[in-house]
């Protein structure tokens, strides 16, 4: 999926569109805690575009505020990365640099990566916000090809009109759940939206579990291939079989 296709699928009203370039200097000054991170931003980012500002007066969705969060606006950003850039770290730095929750689209060559993460008030600094948990990141142009039907269903589900509209917080959570559904479809081959909050949480945990298990299995297979002692190789293969059973169970929860 191309970035332009995803942006179009969001179906945002003209009143929310901004279409302004953002100088890298802003990220360097606000989101780079170390000299190494400053270099990552300067060397890894080609350009940044602020595409839309989703606020009560631009999309008709109320703001949200409580003792933990304050969602006055959601920003849609598209960032073009250079080929050698580390997308994961740069996504984190961009999220940290901008005080609003971001619908972040990273473009790196022919790869399109979506990244979203909640934010909360900093405990000791009332006017500052920090990331609230791990980000949800998905390569929408991933290694495993998706069927045309899965792609159609995902793009249809992204539309602003299909998301919760009670508050900006719920809207943002709706997009996170939709992106997690895409992650799940890359494993299962089937796209479906979670019906309840509990189901969405369970799916995200299952997606994370699948990733952890697949990484562990790959590591053990590599170790087994290099192992010269037959007894140890048998042990590794038995462990792999056990993890494969766990993986099948985790996939069943997607």
Q: Residues 115, 241: one domain? A: no
Q: Is the pLDDT of residue 63 over 70?
A: yes
173-182, 197-206, 217-226, 228-237: range with highest mean pLDDT: 173-182
Distance CA 43, CA 32 (A): 13
Spatial contact of 51 and 18, defined as CB atoms under 8 Å apart: yes
CA-based end-to-end distance of the chain: 22
Q: Residues 217, 245: one domain? A: yes
Q: Residues 43, 91: one domain? A: yes
Whole-Å CA distances, 142 to 40, 44, 139, 146 = 23, 21, 5, 8
* Boundary residue ending a domain (192, 226, 245): 192
- Report residue 194 as tokens: 């979670």
Query: Coil, strand, or helix at residue 11?
Result: coil
Q: Is the pLDDT of residue 126 over 70?
A: no
pLDDT band at residue 127 under the 50/70/90 scheme: confident
Q: Residues 59, 148: one domain? A: yes
- Report residue 83 as tokens: 């080929």
Q: Residues 161, 208: one domain? A: no
Q: Residues 103, 213: one domain? A: no
Q: Residues 201, 239: one domain? A: yes
* Boundary residue ending a domain (145, 162, 192): 192
How much is the average pLDDT of 72-80?
Answer: 96
- Predicted confidence (pLDDT) per residue in 132-158, tens digit: 888 899 998 866 678 889 999 999 999
Domain that holds residue 155: 3-192
- Count of domains for the chain: 2
How much is the average pLDDT of 47-71?
Answer: 94
Q: Residues 50, 142: one domain? A: yes
- Predicted confidence (pLDDT) per residue in 8-34, tens digit: 999 999 999 999 999 988 888 877 788
Q: Residues 74, 51: one domain? A: yes
* Boundary residue ending a domain (192, 214, 242): 192
What's this model's pTM, rounded to 2 decimal places? 0.87
Closest CA to 51 of 99, 19, 83: 19
Q: What is the CA radius of gyration of the chain?
A: 20
């Amino acid at each position: 999926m191309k970035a332009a296709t995803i942006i179009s699928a969001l179906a945002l009203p003209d009143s929310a569109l901004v279409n302004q370039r953002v100088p890298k200097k802003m990220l360097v000054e606000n989101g780079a805690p170390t000299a190494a991170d400053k270099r990552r931003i300067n060397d890894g980012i080609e350009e940044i575009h602020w595409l839309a500002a989703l606020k009560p007066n631009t999309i008709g969705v109320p703001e949200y505020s409580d003792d933990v969060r304050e969602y006055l606006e959601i920003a849609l950003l598209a960032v073009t990365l250079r080929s050698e850039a580390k997308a994961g770290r740069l996504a984190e730095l961009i999220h940290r640099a901008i005080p609003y929750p971001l619908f972040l689209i990273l473009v790196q060559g022919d790869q399109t990566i979506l990244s979203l993460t909640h934010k909360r008030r900093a405990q000791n600094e009332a006017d500052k916000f920090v990331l609230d948990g791990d980000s949800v990141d998905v390569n929408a142009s991933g290694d495993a090809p998706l069927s045309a039907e899965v792609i159609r269903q995902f793009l249809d589900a992204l539309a602003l009109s299909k998301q919760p509209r009670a508050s900006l917080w719920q809207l943002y959570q709706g997009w996170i759940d939709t992106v997690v559904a895409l992650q799940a479809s890359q494993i299962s081959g089937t796209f479906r939206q979670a019906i309840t909050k509990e189901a969405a949480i369970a799916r995200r945990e299952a997606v994370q579990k699948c990733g952890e298990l697949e990484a562990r299995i790959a590591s053990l297979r590599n170790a087994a291939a290099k192992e010269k002692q037959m007894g140890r190789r048998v042990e590794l293969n038995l462990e792999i079989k056990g993890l494969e059973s766990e993986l099948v169970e985790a996939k069943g929860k997607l």
